[in-house]
Amino acid sequence: MKVLGIVSEARDLNQFASFIKCIPATQSISKHIKGYSFGELKEAKLVSLGRMEVLGIVSEARELSQAHTAPVMDHSPPFLATYKSLFDGQQAIDTDTEVVECCDLPLIDLSRLNDVLEAAQCKQDIVTAASEWGFFQIVSHGIPDGLLARLREEQVQMFRQPFKQKTSEKLLDFDDDSYRWGTPTATSLKHLSWSEAYHIPLSSSNKPATSSTIRCVIEELSLAMTQLANQLVDTLAEGLGRDGTYMKENCTRNMCYLRLNRYPPCPIPAQVFGLVPHTDSDFLTILCQDEVIGLQLKKGGRWFTVRPNPNTLVINIGDLFQAWSNGLYKSVEHRVMSNPHLERFSVAYFMCPSNETVIESSAQPGTYRKFSFGEYRQQVQQDVRRMGHKVGLTRLRHHFHLCSPAPLPTPFFFLLQTKKSLFLHMAASPVTAVWNARTSHASFYLPPVGLQVDERESPTVPQPSTAAPDTTAFYAQDSGEEASTTQLAADRMIQPRDAIYAADDVVDQLRYKALQEQIEQMIRAALQGVARTS
């Protein structure tokens, strides 16, 4: 992590130069840095310096520029004091043992779209990146660098206000609650984000504008972002053989959001994320990050650190696009690691439709049932409140249609027991039950009916296989024996994110209301079994 930090810091001398410019000319930093004069630094004649030297200078400059812009007041939120009970006696987020490699996102030059010879390949590259990575970075995107730089300047100033002011004062005439910090719903460290943000609905930018710079910058940027997002939607929709008009018409600028993030340095980086792992609930996100390392994404079951490149914009597919594309484009889990020394800034533009917009998969039968954005958003909020984290698209999967060609097969139930939780598994037959447990597709977490389970305890899970199931082989191997499911309970774990359902939702959703009693009986019997053996 440290080494990556150094490399990434040293990559961007321009950014460094802009730090230096924040320092008043009268201030000398040369004494701190081995004889380089301030003038030399201001000119950013740094190319000949070694990376370590540059890093040293960067942090000196950062400290000085921060000290200069925020001499006395404390602008960072009181994380340690507020979340003290979570830090006392709780486990770290436990990412230390993971080997996290650095990766470069697929880089796409959007100017190729205007070249008759290149356009088709460029579109294909976008479609491939969205399908294989869910993330890519773009250049020649049409958003002026100067505009992004102005926004960053305004963003830094906004966060440099005293904390009290940020929480008590309305940001211009944006919504009251646009300033957020930490995670009010967190009941454990792994759900806490060590960051603060202004979450700005762009609908509010239509209100009578003050002539403040930030308002003008947001206005201008949101227009440019909308244009860019629409261009990407067109290309991605074309890749599905669909027309992007419906999405573009529903994701008008005033439905979208701009989120200004700041990740303050964190004294306990091993214990807390900068931003907890999540997928974005929108259609598409455009992210502008600075040079400080932190963003990570999950690919093939492993976490990768995204090498920051402040000269590109990062695009990621959101849940709605995954559903709309019937799973072809991936809404990939990502997170931001906290950093002990450096603060980090980013801006995210979330392309969202109106609440009434219905999302319907491109292929029928779809992997996901039809849903409205409003309904999805509400469900996400409810899950976060109840369980501390989002369940997401898993809730909308048509499990049964996936598992069996029969429209409403006789369900087959069995239980999976982990150390602290009990899972009910439903499938069309013992055979598909075996398949499901192996591919982790159709498992339902069961909090109600008197179970004393810790809702937040997730089993440790091996990565599920995404390979197509060989049901014939499973059938031959397990041949529908009862034993196979019992054996599953002992050693087959399931993907917690995919597994978390409330039983009543499942029953409602899948029209198995009549089976409620049977399910409850099974659980009681299983619990008695557990009690006898423990």
Burial of 279 (C-beta count, 10 Å sphere; 0-12/13-18/19+)? buried
- Which residue in this structure is represented by tokens 């909090």? 447
- Which residue in this structure is represented by tokens 């009268």? 26
How is residue 419 written in tokens? 């150390």
Strands 107-109 and 344-351, sheet pairing: unpaired
Q: Cα 71 to the chain's mean position, in Å?
A: 34
Query: In the set 233, 287, 292, 384, which binds ligand AKG (CB under 6 A)?
Result: 287
User: Can residue 259 be called a binding residue for ligand AKG (CB under 6 A)?
Assistant: yes
| Amino acid found at 499 | A
- Using alpha carbons, select from 76, 390, 85 the residue that is nearest to residue 263: 76
204 binds, among Fe ion, ligand AKG, none (CB under 5 to 8 A by kind): none
Question: What is the CA angle 495-500-502, rounded to 5?
Answer: 155
261 binds, among ligand AKG, Fe ion, none (CB under 5 to 8 A by kind): ligand AKG
Q: Which is nearer to ligand AKG, 255 or 437 (CB)?
A: 255
User: Can residue 258 be called a binding residue for ligand AKG (CB under 6 A)?
Assistant: no
**Residue 267, CA atoms < 13 Å, CB-side half-sphere:** 6
User: Can residue 279 be called a binding residue for ligand AKG (CB under 6 A)?
Assistant: no
Q: Which is nearer to Fe ion, 12 or 280 (CB)?
A: 280
228 binds, among ligand AKG, Fe ion, none (CB under 5 to 8 A by kind): none
Q: Tell me which residues touch Fe ion (CB under 5 A).
A: 280
| Strand order through the sheet with 295-299 | 101-103, 302-306, 295-299, 334-337, 273-278
Is 344 in the active site? yes
Site for ligand AKG in 337-366 (CB under 6 A): 346, 348
How is residue 304 written in tokens? 């990768």
* Residue 350 C-beta: closest distance to ligand AKG, Å: 7
Q: Which is nearer to ligand AKG, 183 or 346 (CB)?
A: 346
Total residues belonging to the chain? 534
Strands 302-306 and 101-103, sheet pairing: parallel
Site for ligand AKG in 99-138 (CB under 6 A): none
User: Can residue 307 be called a binding residue for ligand AKG (CB under 6 A)?
Assistant: no
Choice among 253, 262, 335, 344 that is catalytic:
344
* Residue 157 C-beta: closest distance to Fe ion, Å: 24
57 binds, among Fe ion, ligand AKG, none (CB under 5 to 8 A by kind): none
* Residue 280 C-beta: closest distance to Fe ion, Å: 4
Tell me which stretch binds ligand AKG (CB under 6 A): 99-107, 144-152, 287-295, 496-504: 287-295
Residues assigned a catalytic role: 344
